[in-house]
A and B are shown apart, each in its own frame.
Chain A
Amino acid sequence: MRRPLYEVQRAMRARREAALKRGVIAVLDIGTSKVSCLVLQFVPEDADDTTTGRPTLTQGAFRVIGAANTRSRGVAFGEIAAMDECERALRTAIQSAQKMASLRVDHVIVSFAGGRPRSYGVTGETEVLNGSVAERDIGHVLAACDIPDYGQDREALHALPVNFCLDNRSGLTDPRGQIGKILEVDMHLLTIAGAPLRNVFHCIRRCDLELAGVVVSPYASGLSSLVEDEQELGAACIDIGGGVTGVSVFVRRQMIYADTVRMGGVHITSDICQGLQVSMQDAERLKTMHGGLVATGLDDREMIELPSILGERDHDRRQISRSELIGVMRPRVEEILEEARARLDASGFEYLPSQRIVLTGGSAQIPGLELVAGHILGRQCRVGKPIRVQGLPQSATGSAFSTAVGLALHVSHPQDECWDFEMPADRHGARRVSRAMRWFRENW
């Protein structure tokens, strides 16, 4: 059951390394409301030690040479709903990013928010073979994790070794080379529904691109919008996107939990559309131009003229005050935040040493969100923007681009995943011959 995905993940890893060697890779954030694409250029010698070194969250030696975003189509709740439309949106984004970079990209890393990600904390334990922990032992212990039954049509997208524990010494990031007997691991296994994932694979293939990695978007936005201290001490990132709100919890530079709330900015827009009887486009415009969450006395007097549904010929002129608009928007935002809070509560977020909450994503730009989030989440909240990376155009530095920037950071400093380590013999099967050859080489 796990083997095919292992193969896929390893293949993607190999492609990513090939792309880093070539120096050009594209990252693609498939969101519900927009598709953004960044073309990254790596300095070749730096690309080498990013793949071998331990993951750190310093800014990698890359440069954004192409950036483009376009309105997303055919995507609902972060999942591909209409393949053709979505493919067209991807083509638009990729082509304009390529044009800006004047380089052809072949490898692409995708993040998407759909597929109902689900987190599992799994542990494994094994004996160290030769006194000091070798790469092989890590493979063994990761393979020894008892994998929960996560459902028939689900795939493990991430399997991050979060914590190693050697003879009751916990909190090791890298146990290799240390002396010990019993090696335990805590692994964060993130599964995702298989069908949306396969749709993404297919869509990328239809764009003549090679997929070099898939990342859930809460993870990526957490990587870019949490500062180092927050990642170290514990923080949650709430990425309020178009159709999906992602929640991810980080501690000690590892993601320990990720989940999504299937609500977002599109739902706020549709609330306005229904509540104020305007078209969807006008509602979107109302939201972005005049939207807010905290009404003041001034907002009662500030009148907004609504465009008529029937067009200019109709002479009924409707006006609403800004506080009415706020009254429509706020319940939905509160609902989203309450859902996110429920997810955070389920994750055990309150036991972390620090409990910062960072709000990011396109809908985090609604004025007054910090105040409302403070009421609901009850903790220190701030609205976060992605950290600055070299070469990113000014227009792509807003909080809506935190997922794309996080993907870029992820590419430059990938976390070791379970399948990056050597597999123990009993898991191999298909590679028996090559293993026999290697054994021959090692022993003679």
Chain B
Amino acid sequence: MLSVRRPIAPRRDPAPSRIRYRLTRLWLRPAFRRFVNFGVPMLAGVLASWTLATELDLRARTVQAVSDLRDAIVDRPQFLITEIAVPDVSADLAEQIREASFVRPPVNSLEVSVVAVRDRVEALAAVERARVRALPDGVLEIRAIERIPVVVWRGEGGVLLLDHNGVRVAEVDSRLRRPDLPLVVGAGADAHIPEALAILDAAGPIASRIRGLVRQGERRWDVVLDRDQAVLLPEAEPLAAMKRVIAIEMAEELFDRDLSIVDMRDPARPMLRLSEHAQAELIRLRDLMKGEDA
């Protein structure tokens, strides 16, 4: 049997609406299509960049926002430095270091440059090396190695304290401030402090009589003793010469005698200069002996 199939349910109206029809026709226009595909994005890009360029405020606002954010982080109490610790140095040096570090607590640890602080502290004469670090509990620790003065140098620039390398530690108004330190005199002496120290060390048995070392002509040392006695050391190997002098002193009690200068400048031919009185006495005694002989 033949049958008539029921027609399917009526479909939606396939007709495009007027707007849609017009838009479709507009879209089929090649110029319009090109405009939408290329012109509009390009235009938008140009417009956006132009707006950015003209809106000068934008940059300032961005910077402001960034700094606000930074402040919000920086202002946290964890980053605050409340105290500067300078351990293991003398009190006045610690005070000096605090002054020189230019850090006034409370201050923010992010704003403190430890390298700069270290450089400033190391620029102090009395500090040989320094280590600066911010500890987590708000303490800025400046660990400094103090220069220890070993000699007093009286030079053209006044009376200075020098350490064992000849580096200036401090200036003092008088040599009497540090009577415990040996005195070094003469221009260019600071460059040869280790030598001077070695000579002083070698001259240990007569240490109590040594008044100081004098640099002669930036060349060689004189060891000046009390009672106007002096030892003139050579330019080369002054230590050996000094040891030799000490050996003679130990054997012959050289400096107890009445002489003014022990001249060791020529190691092959050491010379002694007698004092005026000794010379006269020597001549008298020689004459006496001649007379007895005669």
Contacts and interface: CB of A to CB of B under 8 A. Distances in A.
Contact of A307 (B6, B15, B22, B24): B6
A292 to B, nearest CB: 12
Interface in B1-55: 1-7, 13-16, 18, 21-22, 24-25, 28-29
A289 interface: yes
Interface in A262-301: 281-282, 285-286, 289-290
B15 to A, nearest CB: 4
Contacts of A94: 21
B4 A286 contact: yes
Contacts of A289: 2, 4
A59 to B, nearest CB: 27
Given A70-B14, A88-B15, A92-B14, A98 B5 contact: no
Given A98-B24, A98-B25, A102-B28, A92 B4 contact: no
A185 interface: no
A88 B4 CA distance: 30
22 contacts: A70-B14, A88-B15, A89-B15, A91-B16, A91-B21, A95-B16, A95-B21, A95-B25, A98-B25, A98-B28, A208-B21, A208-B22, A285-B7, A290-B4, A302-B2, A303-B1, A305-B1, A305-B2, A305-B3, A305-B4, A306-B4, A312-B6
A103 B4 contact: no
B284 to A, nearest CB: 143
Contacts of B5: 285
Nearest to B13: A88
Given A89-B15, A304-B4, 5 more contacts: A94-B21, A95-B16, A281-B7, A289-B4, A305-B1
Interface string A92-108: 10110011001110000
A290 B13 CA distance: 28
Contact of B15 (A91, A99, A102, A281): A91
Contacts of A306: 4
A103 B28 contact: yes
Given A70-B14, A89-B15, A104 B4 contact: no
Interface of A: 70, 88-89, 91-92, 94-95, 98-99, 102-104, 207-208, 281-282, 285-286, 289-290, 302-307, 312, 319, 322
A331 B16 CA distance: 40
Nearest to B24: A95
**Interface residue range, chain B:** 10 to 19
Nearest to A303: B1
Given A91-B15, A91-B16, A92-B14, A319 B28 contact: no
A302 B16 CA distance: 43
Contacts of B28: 98, 102-104
Q: Enumerate the 7 nearest inter-chain pairs by beta-carbon distance, A residue then B residue, closest first.
A: A104-B28, A88-B15, A305-B3, A92-B15, A304-B2, A91-B21, A281-B7
Contacts of B6: 307, 312
Contacts of A70: 14
A282 B3 CA distance: 11
Contacts of B1: 303-305, 319
Contacts, number: 57
Contacts of A92: 14-16
A211 to B, nearest CB: 16
Nearest to B1: A303
Nearest to A279: B7
Nearest to A85: B15
Contacts of A281: 7
Nearest to A312: B6
A389 B29 CA distance: 27
Q: Which of B15, B18, B28, B29 has the most CB of A within 10 A?
A: B15
A282 B4 contact: yes
Q: Which of B4, B6, B14 has the most CB of A within 10 A?
A: B4
Contacts of B21: 91, 94-95, 207-208
Contacts of B16: 91-92, 95
Contacts of B18: 91
A74 to B, nearest CB: 11
A94 B18 CA distance: 12
B2 A290 contact: yes
Contacts of B2: 289-290, 302-305, 322
A89 B28 CA distance: 20
A99 B25 CA distance: 9
B4 A285 contact: yes
A304 B18 CA distance: 43
Contact of A282 (B7, B14, B15, B25): B7
A99 B3 CA distance: 37
A91 B18 CA distance: 8
B67 to A, nearest CB: 57
A303 B2 CA distance: 6
A281 B16 CA distance: 24
A104 B25 contact: yes
Nearest to B7: A281
A414 B254 CA distance: 149
Contacts of A102: 28
A357 B39 CA distance: 59
A127 B25 CA distance: 52
A305 B1 CA distance: 7
Contact of B4 (A99, A307, A312): A307
A422 B268 CA distance: 146
Contacts of B15: 88-89, 91-92
